């Protein structure tokens, strides 16, 4: 068992709180991504897990074992760094073998396991290459092999794809996802890239200003974000500000100045009638609807298979609408609507 439990883990540097007391559970074999802007505390949380940073409070459990005071070198975790941190004076084989040599694994087994690890990351035949002779993507895979070959209880990755170009990043994302599905291993992954989080993770923990704001599957975060911050961070969003007219706990209606009808949607927790709130209407749910709200198309942006339309409603309100290319309405005037079931009424996070 190598589930990870953060129990009230927090970190302060003097008067500055990098991480508020945080509870977070990662199930055995789960791929959990810490997603947030820089300074949100995600790397702090990762470094505390790895043992590179002692927490100011709280306890860290791996399985049933309390490792809060265990030094990094006794935690048996595999770490992949943003800078890769490969040993530049060793070749690929020696880099990958490092953790095994430390563990005094017999030479014949080292040879076998290093070869296997290099096969998994598709670097057979690169064993004797110098690190500086490798491309960024290859270095990243060596770093991954080095972390995996020690059979870590937990795999930690700190923005490992940050230095790769977009095309390669997409390939490696899918590759890591496939590797994880083939051999599930408790994984904590740090990124500020929402797409990366959605592609690879079983669950995503969205962080902001030293706190975990919401934890859930990518789908759940996208469809039912806890607040406007999460909504803005994952995917494209129309956020319409207004006042809560009524709520029964599961649904709510929002009055928006200048709109003839209140906007209805699912209610996030923490809403009260009369409070300021926002309605989240995803651009892909906005559709032409005869007899709907009259709007004017003021901008068309072609994004390949998608066309994004900027709409201005009668009261000056702007909405983005996304349609598959070829299905976007012609002309300037349009009447629009959306499916109330896909709308969420959220507390307005500043």
Residue number with CB closer to another protein (151 or 335): 151
- What is the C-alpha separation between 140 and 46, in angstroms, rounded? 18
Where along the sequence are the contacts to another protein (CB under 8 A)?
50-52, 71-79, 81-83, 85-89, 98-99, 102-103, 146, 150
Residue number with CB closer to another protein (143 or 164): 143
Query: How many Cα atoms are found within 13 Å in the side-chain-facing hemisphere of 8?
Result: 4
C-beta of 181: minimal distance to another protein in Å? 25
Q: How many residues does the chain have?
A: 350
C-beta of 146: minimal distance to another protein in Å? 7
Residue with tokens 């990043």: 169
C-beta of 82: minimal distance to another protein in Å? 8
C-beta of 1: minimal distance to another protein in Å? 21
Task: Please tell me whether residue 93 adopts helix, strand or coil conformation.
Answer: helix
Residue number with CB closer to another protein (32 or 77): 77
- Other residues' Cβ atoms within 10 Å of the Cβ of residue 138: 18
Starting at the earlier edge strand, list the strands of the sheet with 4-13.
16-26, 4-13, 57-62, 65-66
The burial class, CB within 10 Å (0-12 / 13-18 / 19+), for 110 is buried
Residue number with CB closer to another protein (43 or 237): 43
C-beta of 102: minimal distance to another protein in Å? 4
The burial class, CB within 10 Å (0-12 / 13-18 / 19+), for 124 is exposed
Residue number with CB closer to another protein (141 or 203): 141
- What is the C-alpha separation between 346 and 254, in angstroms, rounded? 10
Residue number with CB closer to another protein (104 or 128): 104
C-beta of 51: minimal distance to another protein in Å? 8
Of 38, 143, 46, the C-alpha closest to 88 is 143
């Amino acid at each position: 068992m190598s589930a990870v439990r953060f129990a009230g883990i927090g970190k302060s540097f003097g008067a500055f709180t990098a991480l508020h007391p945080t509870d977070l559970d990662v199930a055995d074999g789960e791929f959990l991504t810490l997603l947030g802007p820089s300074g949100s505390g995600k790397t702090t949380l990762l470094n505390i897990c790895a043992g590179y940073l002692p927490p100011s409070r709280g306890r860290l459990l791996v399985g049933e074992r309390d490792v809060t005071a265990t030094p990094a070198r006794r935690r048996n975790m595999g770490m992949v760094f943003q800078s890769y941190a490969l040993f530049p004076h060793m070749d690929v084989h020696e880099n990958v073998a490092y953790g095994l040599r430390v563990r005094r694994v017999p030479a014949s087994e080292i040879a076998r396991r290093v070869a296997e690890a290099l096969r998994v990351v598709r670097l057979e035949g690169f064993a004797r290459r110098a690190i500086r002779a490798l491309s960024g993507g290859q270095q990243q895979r060596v770093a991954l092999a080095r972390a995996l070959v020690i059979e870590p209880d937990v795999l930690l990755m700190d923005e490992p794809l940050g230095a790769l170009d977009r095309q390669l990043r997409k390939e490696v994302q899918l590759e890591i996802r496939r590797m994880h599905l083939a051999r599930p291993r408790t994984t904590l992954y740090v990124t500020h890239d929402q797409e990366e989080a959605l592609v690879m993770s079983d669950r995503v923990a969205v962080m902001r200003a030293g706190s975990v704001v919401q934890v859930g599957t990518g789908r759940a975060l996208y469809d039912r974000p806890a607040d406007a911050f999460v909504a803005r961070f994952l995917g494209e969003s129309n956020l319409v500000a207004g006042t809560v007219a009524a709520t029964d706990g599961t649904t709510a209606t929002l009055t928006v100045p200048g709109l003839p009808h209140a906007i209805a949607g699912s209610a996030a927790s923490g809403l009260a009638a009369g409070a300021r709130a926002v309605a989240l209407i995803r651009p892909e749910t906005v559709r032409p609807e005869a007899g709907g709200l009259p709007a004017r198309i003021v901008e068309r942006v072609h994004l390949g298979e998608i066309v994004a339309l900027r709409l201005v409603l009668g009261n000056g309100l702007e909405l983005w609408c996304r349609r598959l290319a070829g299905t976007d309405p012609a002309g300037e005037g349009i009447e629009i609507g959306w499916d109330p079931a896909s709308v969420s009424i959220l507390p307005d996070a500043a």
